[in-house]
Amino acid sequence: MALELKSTVIKAGGEFPVDYTCNGRNISPPLNVSGIPAAAKSLVLIFDDPDAAKEPAGRGKTFDHWVVYNIPAIDQAIAEGSVPAGARLGQNGAGSDKYIGPCPPTFRHTYYFRLLALDNTLDLVDRPTKDQVLEASTSHVIEETQLVAYYEQPASTSG
């Protein structure tokens, strides 16, 4: 069985639910992780928005919404608004260790949840950046998968 990342509220390739964005409750959606490789020792979950680099204020950089590492390597349901027990948090694009929901300023963005199964656990400084997590993971990725969804700001109803 292959590594899988699914959600009960996000359809792969579908629209991101408003409830988990800046226009809703702005909490992480529920996620289901399965098909963990037998050799995996930990998981990394990264939620980012490469389209942010195309925004005028994006300064050519992907925006990191959520960085979670050293997730226990077991099939599990991650409840909305939570972090798996034992996992560590990295810095998001705003420098905090919290989930930040989609909030694209001008056009429809593509959002990626990427799940990496590693053959080790990561020994990193407190609150590492996504780049630090990925660099430490480079030679340890056994398998990876992703869940992709789209979001744009709702049309204004004022007139």
SS (H, E, C) 20-54: HCCCCCCCCCCEEEECCCCCCCEEEEEEEEHHHHH
Q: Which domain holds residue 118?
A: 4-151
Q: What CATH code is carried by the domain that includes residue 131?
A: 3.90.280.10
Token pair 């080790």 in the structure block, residue? 120
State the pLDDT at residue 159. Answer: 41
Residue 157: predicted pLDDT: 44
Q: Report how many helices (DSSP H) and strands (DSSP E) the chain contains, helices first.
A: 1, 9
Does residue 58 form part of some domain?
A: yes
Do 56 and 62 form a contact (C-beta atoms < 8 A)?
A: no
User: What is the model's pTM?
Assistant: 0.94
Q: Identify the pLDDT of residue 57.
A: 72
117 in any annotated domain: yes
Q: How confident is the model at residue 31 (pLDDT cuts 50, 70, 90)?
A: very high
Q: Is residue 158 part of a domain?
A: no
The pLDDT assigned to 72 comes to: 98
Domain assignment of residue 89, yes or no = yes
Evaluate whether residue 156 is within a structural domain: no
pLDDT of residue 56: 79
> Looking at residues 138-147, what average pLDDT do you find?
97
**Stretch among 64-68, 123-127, 128-132 having the lowest mean pLDDT:** 123-127
pLDDT: is 155 or 150 the higher one? 150
Tell me if 159 is assigned to some domain.
no
Number of domains in the chain: 1
Percent of the chain with pLDDT over 90: 88
- The predicted model gives 45-54 an average pLDDT of 96
Mean pLDDT of 3-29: 97
Is 14 a member of any domain? yes
Query: Is residue 157 domain-resident?
Result: no
pLDDT score recorded for residue 103: 95
Determine the average pLDDT of the residues in 41-65: 91
